[in-house]
Structure 1
Amino acid sequence: MSTIRLHLNEQPVELPAPLTLLMLLERHDIAADSVATAVNGQFVPRAQRAHHTLQAHDVVLTFQPIVGG
C-alpha cells in the first residue's frame, strides 16, 4: 500500500493513498462542517472536499470560517 506525506496545520502526516481532503479531515477527527480549508494556499469549498485528491507534499490548513455582512 502506498502512502502520502503532507502537512496538516503545520504538522507532518503520513497516510495511505489515495487520500481526499475530506478523508484527511475525518481521519484526524476534524469536524468538517465547522472549519474552512485551504490546500497550498487555495481555498477549497466544503462541497469539493470529497473530490479534492491530495498529493505528496501538499500543505493543508484548516481555519475558522469568516462570516460577515
Structure 2
Amino acid sequence: MSSVVVLYQVDDSEEVRYVKKYVIPLKNDPDIGIHDLNNLDSGAYLLIPTAMQPFVVLIIGEEIIAYCDTSAA
C-alpha cells in the first residue's frame, strides 16, 4: 500500500488547517482508508514524511511542529 497526505484549508476566511491521509492499495484491494486530522496550527504549511513504520508525518506550522502517527487517526 501507498499513502498520500494532504494539508488543506476549507475556506480562505478560516484560519484552520486540516490533514487528510489516503491509503491507496497497490494491488486488487478494494478498500481505501481515509484518516482525518483536524484543528491544526492555522499557519501549518509543510508536511514532512518520515521513514518510520507505521506511517508518521511531521506537520510544520508557524508556532508548532506536530508529530502525527496516522495509524492512530
Instruction: Flag the structure with higher strand content.
Output: 2
Do the structures match in fold with TM over 0.5?
A: no
Which of the five TM-score ranges fits, normalised by the shorter chain?
Answer: under 0.3
Instruction: Flag the structure with higher helix content.
Output: 1
Where relative contact order (Cα < 8 A, 6+ residues apart) is larger, the structure is 1
Give the alignment's TM-score, normalised by structure 2: 0.24
Give the alignment's TM-score, normalised by structure 1: 0.24
